[in-house]
């Protein structure tokens, strides 16, 4: 299975991604993620331009960012541990990570199926974060019971 299978699948859906009830759901999650990310820094001085890339190989130098935000992408990363290590690498010491995704006990049944190796619970994701070098993970409910968020320091 190609490592970027999910990227290709989402690229096909991109045209209609913001349409309908699902589009409104995506917006709502993105807005709440932005609120969470900006809570401690309401007026950031600089925001990088968006750039396409895989989480496992971020095209950025070490220590480049004070804030890294990921919304509902983590579950699709082919190698979640490598992706989090990359997030840690591109962040400056003291920087903040906001990771929003499918974290819920409701996903437990899926962990014995096709999503077996995924960090879909707080416990699994916390373990990967600590291994990647993050400190003080704090969990937040973000959307209903299905989408959670964790903030952590570099």
Q: How far is the CB of 137 from ligand SAM (least distance, A)?
A: 20
Is residue 144 a contact point for ligand SAM (CB under 6 A)?
no
Strands in the chain per DSSP E: 65-71, 91-101, 135-143, 147-153
Q: How many residues bind ligand SAM (CB under 6 A)?
A: 14
Q: How far is the CB of 105 from ligand SAM (least distance, A)?
A: 21
**54 vs 136 by CB, closer to ligand SAM:** 54
Q: How far is the CB of 73 from ligand SAM (least distance, A)?
A: 3
What does the per-residue mask of binding to ligand SAM show for 114-133, with x meaning CB under 6 A? --------------------
Using the CB atoms, write b or e for 104-127: b if 16+ within 10 Å.
beebeeeeeeeeeebbbbeeebbe
Residues 18, 28 contacting (CB under 8 angstroms): no
Q: Tokens standing for 37?
A: 């990310």
What does the per-residue mask of binding to ligand SAM show for 46-85, with x meaning CB under 6 A? --------xxx--------------xxx--xxx-------
Q: What is the DSSP letter of 134?
A: -
Residues 6+ apart with CB under 8 A from 34: 69
Give the footprint of ligand SAM on this chain (CB under 6 A): 6-7, 10, 26, 30, 54-56, 71-73, 76-78
């Amino acid at each position: 299975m190609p490592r970027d299978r999910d990227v290709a699948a989402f690229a096909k859906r991109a045209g209609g991604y913001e349409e309908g009830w699902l589009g409104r759901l995506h917006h709502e999650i993105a807005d709440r993620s932005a609120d969470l990310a900006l809570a401690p820094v309401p007026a950031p001085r600089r925001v990088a331009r968006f750039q396409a890339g895989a989480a496992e190989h971020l095209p950025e130098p070490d220590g480049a960012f004070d804030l890294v935000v990921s919304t509902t992408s983590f579950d699709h990363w082919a190698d979640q541990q490598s992706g989090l290590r990359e997030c840690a690498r591109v962040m400056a010491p003291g920087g903040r990570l906001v990771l929003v995704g499918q974290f819920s006990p409701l996903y437990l049944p899926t962990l014995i199926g096709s999503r077996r190796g995924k960090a879909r619970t707080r416990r699994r994701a916390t373990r990967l974060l600590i291994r990647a070098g993050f400190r003080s993970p704090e969990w937040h409910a973000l959307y209903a019971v299905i989408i959670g968020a964790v903030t952590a320091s570099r």
